[in-house]
Structure 1
């Protein structure tokens, strides 16, 4: 008889993201998650003080993953135009990743509609993205802050369009080129 594998904090978080995507935020409780993982609630409480602490940990992971490309893009790309184009593409790719249990951006945004704490986290991430987009646009001579919002909104929603749903490089690149042509 083999011993049952002890679940890690990461196992619970992965199960939480999958449950959020598949069933929504009501599934983010100890009992339904324990059933999903075929274990007891005690394992959940070993890793998390309570359900709000679990929710905070989920949001911490999402925030870190959502913002991780920013430093890399700023470091790797030489021109502000290239940074702007790549940032738009990376946010689009992240926000619309089909492996949603690993990338729950859409589900977290839906969760934020009914939860003020989650909405605050989404606003924080969007604020950081908007600040960088605005800075890159200013570096390219575009000072209207609405363009940063247009680009961010497009990055979030472009994959929900039925036509060419797998080709985000063309539309996002075209949008950035159009905005840059306004200078």
Structure 2
């Protein structure tokens, strides 16, 4: 994460601070995203923070912008799937968007969006891009525009619902290898949504 000087001091980048914020958001939610906790996690003083950010509001804006760029990268990956058959494209999109590593962060960003208009705007923008690609896959499968819209919205809502289920509950339902266990569930949902 950070380059260490020979003296043992840590030279952090703005991205190191943002990544620490992502970790805290995923672990503790927005209430944990405080300067003292960031410094403790990174093992540095507040002076290091102020080297990169004017204030906590500026830092939080950087976290949201970085998350938006991260989601844009997801969108770029989805755009790269355009030539796949629609069912395979949808399966890969679903797997991409509910990666365990990002599960808690995605949920935390959506919670944050409930109380912050700029975060809500970033989440909405990301959602619109994903919905558009999902709609296109259903359309490519052969559904008319209205039907593709309904099915894409249903698939998207199911994914959001999954994000808001407690991870402990999902693991109790599907076992410790959650990712493997969810694959049959995802395939069932795709089969259901692709029925004529």
**TM-score normalised over the length of structure 1:** 0.82
1:21 alignment counterpart: 26
More moved, 39-48 vs 130-139: 39-48
Q: In the alignment, does 2:88 pair up with 1:78?
A: no
C-alpha distance after superposition, 1:5-60 (max 9, x if no partner):
21221221122112222332233343442233332222112112322221122122
Query: Matches of residues 127-166 of structure 1 in structure 2 within 5 Å?
Result: 127-142=128-143, 143=145, 144=147, 145-158=149-162, 160=165, 161=170, 162-164=172-174, 166=178
More moved, 116-125 vs 41-50: 41-50
Structure 1, unaligned stretches of length 5 or more? none
Query: Matches of residues 62-73 of structure 1 in structure 2 within 5 Å?
Result: 62-73=67-78
Q: Size of the alignment, in residue pairs?
A: 177
C-alpha distance after superposition, 1:143-179 (max 9, x if no partner):
3212112111222333634522612211122212222
2:189 alignment counterpart: 175
Q: 2:27, 2:94 → 1: CA distance?
A: 27
Higher relative contact order (CA 8 A, sep 6+): 1
Say which SS state the counterpart of residue 104 (structure 1) adopts.
helix
Alpha carbons of structure 1 residues 74 and 18: separation in structure 2 relative to 1, 3 Å: closer
- RMSD across aligned positions (CA): 2.4
Say which SS state the counterpart of residue 33 (structure 1) adopts.
helix
Check conservation: 2:30, 2:112, Cα contact below 8 A: yes
**TM-score normalised over the length of structure 2:** 0.77
Q: 2:91, 2:20 → 1: CA distance?
A: 33
Q: 1:92, 1:113 → 2: CA distance?
A: 20
Check conservation: 1:89, 1:155, Cα contact below 8 A: no
